[in-house]
Amino acid sequence: MITTNINKAAKALQNDDIIAIPTETVYGLAGNAYSENALKKIFAIKKRPYYNPLIVHIKSVSSLSTIASDVPTMALKLAEEFWPGPLTLVLKKQPHISDLITAGKETVAVRVPNHPIALAVLEKLDFPLAAPSANPFGSISPTTAGHVFDYFEEELEVILDGGSCERGVESTIIGFEGNQPVLYRYGSISVEEIERVVGPLLFTVNNDNTPNSPGMLSRHYAPITDTYLTNHVADLVHSFQGKKIGLLLYKNEIPNQEDAIQEVLSENGHLHEAATKLYAALHRLDKSNLDVIIAEKFPDDGLGKTLNDRLQRAIKK
Ligand code: TXA
Ligand code: MG
């Protein structure tokens, strides 16, 4: 059930239960990162394949050395700049970190979430939290407690309500090849913001056979309704005449489309606002019994790159 009781949430976690917690990006499906039992439950509830590793959530930079070793100077610089916040670092793991978390890799993904409730829960625990996004594998990430409830009413006894997620898209994931920082997943912090701190990033190739970061799988974050992504929404609307259409738009409604449901993400054209609202709008459209969702491409820089990346993975191939 949905609750705001932090003590109840901490107790459940100490009992090896899996609960939903709010973070500034999206809601997470959290369990004790040091309990094999809890980790297995996360995979079972999410129906997530074991080859897809989890992010470990810690309460502060000072806990990092309990999770990772040989942390590059650049990683520390990024942590100092962006934690608590929507940056996940992929680092060499400490030997005790479970293979369930890392999918058998030698690296572990870790971040400090920037949400008062997530931090308050972590403060009550003597273990870190493993937490993937709180959606079934492959579907749209949740940005409200209600979204989580719709997915996991049956499976979760505790859904900790922290309101709507302030960022609305997942963390940016950065790894290292030697001392070279590498982008594994576009996210809430733009490439430009990261590069301002550590210089040019390498970009991993998006390859379904050997995904470096399965958030990079080509179909992910997907609604059930057929979804298209275009620069020319009006033209595409025209070609779906007679269908029930939902429009996901950046700044402006499409005129003379009384029958279409239109979701405008940011009338003033703020990418941050659009990011915050994106998944909630997709959830609403996906529940509106439509034949098709047509999404408008965002300007392709800054946070726009992240939003285009997510929409690209939501479309039918
Ligand atoms: O914003 C977020 O990151 C949210 C909130 C809940 O913190 N979490 C999230 O988790 O998006 P999830 O499980 O949906 O995505 C985690 C991503 C996956 O794409 C996974 O492959 C990648 O992190 N990942 C985890 N460990 C990794 C590793 N060792 N190397 C490369 N990628 C890794
Ligand atoms: Mg996810």
Is the distance from CB of 276 to CB of 309 less than 8 angstroms? no
State residue 179's pLDDT score: 86
188 is written with which tokens?
Answer: 């809430």
Q: Which atom of ligand 1 is nearest to the CA of 173?
A: 23
Distance 59 CA to ligand 2 centre (A): 21
Burial class (CB in 10 A: 0-12, 13-18, 19+), 293: buried
Q: Which of 57, 133, 166, 208 to mutate to test the pocket of ligand 1 (most atoms within 8 A of CB)?
A: 133
Chain-centre distance for alpha carbon 183: 15
Nearest CA to ligand 1 atom 19: 215
Distance 55 CA to ligand 1 centre (A): 5
Q: What does CATH list as the number for 2-216?
A: 3.90.870.10
Ligand 1 interacting residues, C-beta cut-off 6 A: 23, 25-26, 28, 52-55, 86, 88, 90, 102, 105, 107-109, 113, 131-133, 170-171, 173, 184-185, 212-215
Q: Is 133 annotated as a binding residue?
A: yes
Q: Is 111 annotated as a binding residue?
A: yes
Q: Is 48 annotated as a binding residue?
A: yes
Show Cβ contacts of residue 113 under 8 Å, excluding neighbours closer than 6 positions. Answer: 23, 24, 25, 28, 57, 84, 119
Q: Is 63 annotated as a binding residue?
A: no
Distance 54 CA to ligand 1 centre (A): 5
Q: Is 57 annotated as a binding residue?
A: yes
Nearest-ligand number for the alpha carbon of 136:
2
Distances (CA, A) of 94 to 67, 71, 72, 144, 230: 5, 11, 14, 33, 44
What residue spans define the domains of the chain?
Answer: 2-216, 226-314
Q: Which residues surround ligand 2, an ion (CB under 5 A)?
A: 133
pTM of this structure? 0.96
What single string gives the DSSP state of each residue in the chain? -EE--HHHHHHHHHTT--EEE--SSS-EEEEETT-HHHHHHHHHHHT--TTS--EEE-SSGGGHHHHBSS--HHHHHHHHHH-SSSEEEEEEBPTTS-HHHHTT-SEEEEE----HHHHHHHHT-SS-EE--BSS-TTBPPP-SHHHHHHHHTTT-S-EE---S-SS-SPPEEEEEETTEEEEEE--SS-HHHHHHHH-PPEE----SSS-SSGGGSSS-SB-SSEEEEES-HHHHHHHTTTS-EEEEESS-PPTT-TTSEEEES-TT--HHHHHHHHHHHHHHHHTS--SEEEEEPPPSSTHHHHHHHHHHHHS--
Q: What does CATH list as the number for 226-314?
A: 3.40.50.11030
Pairing of β 19-21 and β 28-32:
antiparallel
Per-residue tens of pLDDT for the chain, all 317 residues: 999 999 999 999 999 999 999 999 999 999 999 999 999 999 999 999 999 999 999 999 999 999 999 999 999 999 999 999 999 999 999 999 999 999 999 999 999 999 999 999 999 999 999 999 999 999 999 999 999 999 999 999 999 999 999 999 999 999 999 889 999 999 999 999 999 999 999 998 454 444 566 566 666 778 999 999 999 999 999 999 999 999 999 999 999 998 899 999 999 999 999 999 999 999 999 999 999 999 999 999 999 999 999 999 888 65
